[in-house]
Amino acid sequence: MKKVALTGANGTVAQALTRQLAGKYAVSGVSIVRMDEVMRDVSACTWKELLEAYRSRVLGQLRQAFSGQYAVAHLGWNTRDEHCNGGLDPLNILVVDCVYRAAIAENVPRIYLASSVHAYDFTRDYRRDVQPIAPFPDVREDPFGVPPTSLYGVSKRWMEIAGQYYARQLHPGQKILVVRLGGVGDSGLPHRPGSRLWDSHRDLAGLFTAFVECDAAPNYWVAFGVSDNHGGEFPRPLFDTVNPYGFRPADNSFALE
């Protein structure tokens, strides 16, 4: 049975994925060390020293957790201080960098990171029937591309760009998938029927599994992690879930109305 490690072990997405993958993979959880713990243990004099101490602690923790794993999924995020409605925690970015470095160093074959639909601004199209948004930057209307929705979106886009950088450093057989997740709820149901952002627990696990099991995958890809939500005044999904793993979402929030 393949081993899979999930960061953010106590979070909604990790808990949902753990339940869905039970019996299919040997799943373990990682709760990433917090800066407060490092501050109690080290006598750093400057912010730079403290940051380096934190980086070293996180890298060490992740390398140990990732050793011998077939796949890792980075789902952890400080959403108390940084989320789509405001705030910015630069340590979220540092942890992403540590995840890439640790997974590559431990030669983990499949490296999955949870970005967000907020990496590119979808809000202007949310209440319109439009051609599904592709998972790649669109510069047709603006020479600078589509902006993110928030600083949270900026951090998630940095995750994607960093993946492109680290993809050049992968060992043979290693693959990176960055998924722009929509709304994953505790119950597995959308916060309201007809949500265009909903990602069901089944579809969440389906894309992850397809990525893990696809041997012919490219070394780097970005995909939307959203269910096939369409119906009524929206005959098409808002997001194009195209991917090279043969996965197609099965659920539709409009079918629950």
Sorted by where each begins, the domain ranges of the chain are 3-256
Cα atoms in the 13 Å half-sphere on the side-chain side of 168? 4
Task: Read off the DSSP letter of residue 86.
Answer: B
The model's pLDDT over 36-74, given as tens digits with 9 standing for 90+, comes to 888 888 876 788 889 999 999 999 999 999 999 999 999
Which pLDDT belongs to residue 257? Answer: 63
pLDDT higher than 80, residue 249: yes
Q: Do 151 and 77 touch, CB atoms closer than 8 A?
A: no
- Does domain 3-256 correspond to CATH entry 1.10.3720.10? no
Per-residue pLDDT band at 240 (split at 50, 70, 90): very high
* CA–CA dist 93, 154 (Å, integer): 10
**Span of 13-17, 102-106, 145-149 with lowest mean pLDDT:** 145-149
Buried b (16+ CB within 10 A) or exposed e, 81-109: ebbbeeeebebbbbbbbbbbbbbbebebb
Q: Do 228 and 241 touch, CB atoms closer than 8 A?
A: yes
> pTM, whole model, 2 decimals?
0.96
The alpha carbon of 64 is separated from its chain's Cα centroid by a whole number of angstroms, namely: 21
Q: For the chain, what percent of residues have pLDDT higher than 90?
A: 86
Q: Do 253 and 195 touch, CB atoms closer than 8 A?
A: yes
The model's pLDDT over 159-182, given as tens digits with 9 standing for 90+, comes to 999 999 999 999 999 999 999 999
Q: Which residues pair with 221 in a beta bridge?
A: 177
